[in-house]
Amino acid sequence: MLESVIYEEIWQEWYQEGFELGFKQSLEQKAQEIAISMLSKGMAIALIIHCTGLTIEQVQKL
């Protein structure tokens, strides 16, 4: 019984970490999509960085 509880706790921790990682990646992907749109409209990189939270290196790679 104790072993089952331990496995359940481990599984919940892994699930939570996976969820948080997926959520973070999703937010970063959306920020990149927004930055690409802003770049295509000729907006300044400084404004894109401010609005999206991306770094200058991330924006320049787009």
Structure tokens given for 3? 């072993």
The full set of domain ranges for the chain reads 1-61
Which residues have C-beta within 8 Å of that of residue 56, sequence separation ≥ 6? 45, 49
Tell me the per-residue pLDDT of 51-60, one tens digit each, with 9 for 90 and over: 999 999 999 9
Q: What is the pLDDT of residues 12-47, one digit of tens each?
A: 888 888 888 888 888 999 999 999 999 999 999 999
Torsion of CA 19, 25, 28, 30, to 10 degrees: -80
DSSP single-letter state for residue 42: T
pTM, two decimals, is 0.71
